[in-house]
Amino acid sequence: MSKYAAGIIADLIRRKPDCVLGLATGSTPIGTYRELIRLHKEEGLDFSRVKTFNLDEYLGIGMDLSKPYHLDQSYARFMYEELFKHINIKLENTHIPDGLTKNPEEFCKAYEEEIKKAGGIDLQVLGIGGDGHWGFNEPGSPFTSRTRVEALTKQTIDDNYEAFYKAAGIPKEEMPHYAITMGIGTILEARSAIMLANGAKKADIVAKALEGPVTNEVTASAIQIYKGDITVILDKDAASKLKNL
Ligand code: F6R
């Protein structure tokens, strides 16, 4: 999965060295990022002109060194540790919603503007949340939604608790309950996309998103009205509930 996904990203970078990538965090794309690091180190894949925009960030945390308590859990930190510090990308070309912004509304508008100014996203990397979210577009998010602050569902908080907080011993009540996320409308404007999912835990929601009704109760079902090229990359377990394989 990771090799295939990284291959698509690498092909684009070779064809268009100044391409704009939309990136996701979470456990699913880690292997893809490791493969991109390998391609950079062993095959000279050049990120020097690549621009990136991440889908989301928890509100209230970030890479601000004055807030060590939340430091390691930020998506900014995740991107730096899992990808950016290992490749020759210019950090000024990377964009991640600022979880510590004093004015989230203004920030979200400016984020949308930045994406436009960069020429739009050439390739968006997506996972899928247990409740069917893309980015942090929780059930009920309109398909026309743009970058904004979104309240996280209980399921998302439970899903992310282990990955981000168990290790640090932070109680669930103190996890951020809000995030900044690109909207579904923002994501649908990307010229192409890849969606990754693995594991039996994702089988039901993958089947709902790909074969169920198009509904903002499962925001990833927007895939069915997406007009760009999208490649869905699943392992056997995640694909096990699909009827039309
Ligand atoms: C994260 C993001 C989320 C994740 C989703 C799946 O930037 O956009 O939508 O893709 O929550 O997370 P994992 O991969 O940890 O199962």
List domains and CATH numbers for the chain.
2-187 (3.40.50.1360)
57 Cβ inside 6 Å of ligand 1: no
Question: Tell me, what's the pLDDT at 72?
Answer: 66
What CA–CA distance (Å, rounded) separates 209 from 222? 8
Asked whether the predicted pLDDT for residue 70 surpasses 60, the reply is: no
Please pick, among 138, 150, 159, 189, the residue that the annotation labels catalytic.
138
Please pick, among 57, 82, 122, 133, the residue that the annotation labels catalytic.
133
- Cα of 136 to ligand 1 centre, how many Å? 8
Question: Tell me, what's the pLDDT at 68?
Answer: 47
- Cα of 17 to ligand 1 centre, how many Å? 26
Question: Tell me, what's the pLDDT at 98?
Answer: 94
97 Cβ inside 6 Å of ligand 1: no
Question: Tell me, what's the pLDDT at 176?
Answer: 87
| pLDDT mean over 8-17 | 98
Q: What angle do CA 193, 184, 155 make, to 5 degrees?
A: 100
Asked whether the predicted pLDDT for residue 163 surpasses 70, the reply is: no
CA-136 nearest atom, ligand 1: 9
Q: What angle do CA 152, 116, 13 make, to 5 degrees?
A: 90
132 Cβ inside 6 Å of ligand 1: no
* Confidence category of residue 166, pLDDT binned at 50, 70, 90: low
Q: Are strands 148-151 and 178-181 parallel, antiparallel or unpaired?
A: antiparallel
Asked whether the predicted pLDDT for residue 242 surpasses 60, the reply is: yes
129 Cβ inside 6 Å of ligand 1: yes
Asked whether the predicted pLDDT for residue 66 surpasses 60, the reply is: no
Q: Which residue has the tokens 């282990």?
A: 162
CA-134 nearest atom, ligand 1: 9
